[in-house]
């Protein structure tokens, strides 16, 4: 779906609305369904649980968050 967005592959519904290309959308969903269990197994073997991603990239740019992550990484050593 990202590739579809980046390369501007979409279907024009009306003059105002567009839709992701169904071919790219279903290919992305098929890839996710095929690889999801392998990713979860790998995360569990590495000691992790469910993947949790931030809702916004702004969190990664936050200096307070950066120091918090460094504190956790140093503490785990």
**pLDDT of residue 4 exceeding 70:** no
pTM (predicted TM-score): 0.38
pLDDT at 5: 56
Residue 22 has pLDDT above 70, yes or no: yes
pLDDT digits (tens, 9 = 90+) for 27-55: 888 888 888 877 777 666 666 655 566 66
Element (H, E) at 49: none
Tell me how far apart the alpha carbons of residues 1 and 23 are, in angstroms, rounded to a whole number. 9
CA dist., res. 53 & res. 9, Å (int): 26
CA distances from 42 to 13, 34, 37, 54, 57 (A): 40, 14, 9, 20, 24
Q: Apex CA 68: angle with CA 63 and CA 69, to 5°?
A: 100
């Amino acid at each position: 779906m990202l590739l579809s967005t980046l390369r501007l592959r979409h279907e024009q519904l009306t003059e105002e609305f567009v839709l992701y290309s169904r071919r790219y959308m279903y290919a992305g969903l098929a890839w996710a369904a095929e690889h999801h269990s392998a990713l979860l197994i790998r995360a569990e073997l590495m000691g992790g649980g469910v993947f949790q991603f931030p809702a916004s990239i702004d969190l990664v740019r936050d200096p307070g968050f950066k120091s918090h992550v460094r504190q956790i990484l140093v503490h785990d050593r």
